[in-house]
Amino acid sequence: MLDVDITGNVGQLDLQARFTSDGGVTSLFGQSGSGKTTLTNMIAGLIRPSSGYIRLNGATLFDAASSVNLPVQARRIGHVFQDARLFPHLSVKANLTYARWAGRRQGTRDFSEVVDLLGLNALLDRKPETLSGGEKQRVAIGRALLSDPNLLIMDEPLANLDQARRNDILPYLDRLCVEAGIPILYVSHSIEEVARLSNTLVILSDGRTPAFGPVAEMLARTDLGRATGRHEAGALIEGRVTQVDDVWGLTFVDIDGAVLQIPNMDARAGHHVRLRIRARDVSLASIPPEGLSIRNAFEAKIKSISEESGPYAEILCSVGEQVVRARITRASVADLDLFTGKTVTVLIKSVAIDRRQRSPVLPNAVEHSV
């Protein structure tokens, strides 16, 4: 349980952050320059806030009022930096076990478990300079995990990697987020990573935290366009795989109100999956269409219409308990005579739900305990 309420300024940035999180993966999301790294550095103890408090699992890490400011080495916060920061003169193994032999952390975590989790077995005797960017980050994550932390901060770990490396490492991150057993604070400016990995989302914009809460809820909100980046807006849908059709290469996912058909999805029947559907990939029809190549067409009820300036409108449609977001022109809203409560057909081009936006295995947010 992380409870943060601080103010401070570093350089040009004036930071005022307030949020709580109940465990699992909490994402700190915002554009570049919004203060994400400053905030995590304050939580880690590398920068001192001017006022407020930081509490983790009931223990006070910082409290301006009572002049408490635990030094970095006493906070037991594992920190994975954007630039890995592996010790170049030590082998990968020595890097991984650094907290044990230099930090005097006993470590309740099993070394070989962490190595397996992150696929580091082949790298143990290598030197950091011989590793690729993705490999370095994995070692950095393993090193932080083995320091037996109460909280793991990951500060834009994928930002310096190219697309291929990122794809390599994401499966490891998926597993990590499930098996870590400790709360994770994940910082990113990529809505895809955030949507894929987190349970709680904290929005950071211009040094302020305008909103925080469960991730699906946050992403569905239409008033956070500026903070989230309009072109990335979309919905997070949870579902269960019911069937895999090998003949046509399609996977059927029940999202409780409709069944989606998704090609090339790497999942088995019974798996829970999380899908991200971008608003601009969703179309609406007032009459169920026929003769279309789009396979995913289902009924939904309009929950809200928000008309912003410019040609577009954002429509939220309920499908069972979940919400799908569509972006269409205001002109079409008028032409189709759309209004709150109206039943429409939601159309999602199957290709729009692509690999990047699917996470194979994630438990429900509700199941996470502190």
What's the closest the beta carbon of residue 85 comes to other proteins, in angstroms?
Answer: 4
Q: Which one, 143 or 274, has the nearer CB to other proteins?
A: 143
Q: How many CA atoms lie within 13 A of 94 on its CB side?
A: 10
DSSP 128-144: GGGS-HHHHHHHHHHHH
What's the closest the beta carbon of residue 197 comes to other proteins, in angstroms?
Answer: 21
Place of tokens 């301006």: 64
Using N-to-C axis directions, what is the helix angle for 163-179 and 133-145, rounded to 10°? 20
Q: Which one, 99 or 275, has the nearer CB to other proteins?
A: 99
In angstroms, the CA 99 to CA 336 distance is 62
The residue among 236, 299, 238, 297 whose CA lies nearest residue 267 is: 238
Q: Which one, 103 or 225, has the nearer CB to other proteins?
A: 103
Tokens of 318: 């309920």
Q: Which one, 86 or 346, has the nearer CB to other proteins?
A: 86
Q: Which one, 1 or 102, has the nearer CB to other proteins?
A: 102
What's the closest the beta carbon of residue 130 comes to other proteins, in angstroms?
Answer: 9
Footprint of other proteins on this chain (CB under 8 A)?
44, 46, 71-73, 76-79, 81, 83-89, 98-99, 102-105, 127-129, 136, 143-144, 147
Q: Which one, 77 or 346, has the nearer CB to other proteins?
A: 77
In angstroms, the CA 219 to CA 228 distance is 8
Q: Which one, 73 or 306, has the nearer CB to other proteins?
A: 73
N-terminal to C-terminal alpha carbon distance within the chain? 6
Q: Which one, 114 or 144, has the nearer CB to other proteins?
A: 144
What's the closest the beta carbon of residue 139 comes to other proteins, in angstroms?
Answer: 10
In angstroms, the CA 114 to CA 128 distance is 18
316, 222 in Cβ contact below 8 A? yes
100, 122 in Cβ contact below 8 A? no
Dihedral (CA of 91, 92, 93, 94) sign: positive
Chain centre to alpha carbon of residue 109: 24
What's the closest the beta carbon of residue 40 comes to other proteins, in angstroms?
Answer: 11
274, 290 in Cβ contact below 8 A? no
H helix intervals, 301-363: 330-335
What's the closest the beta carbon of residue 123 comes to other proteins, in angstroms?
Answer: 13
What's the closest the beta carbon of residue 200 comes to other proteins, in angstroms?
Answer: 23
In angstroms, the CA 43 to CA 31 distance is 19
What's the closest the beta carbon of residue 81 comes to other proteins, in angstroms?
Answer: 7
What's the closest the beta carbon of residue 186 comes to other proteins, in angstroms?
Answer: 16
In angstroms, the CA 241 to CA 255 distance is 9
Q: Which one, 70 or 365, has the nearer CB to other proteins?
A: 70
Main-chain dihedrals φ then ψ at residue 159, nearest 5 degrees: -60, -35
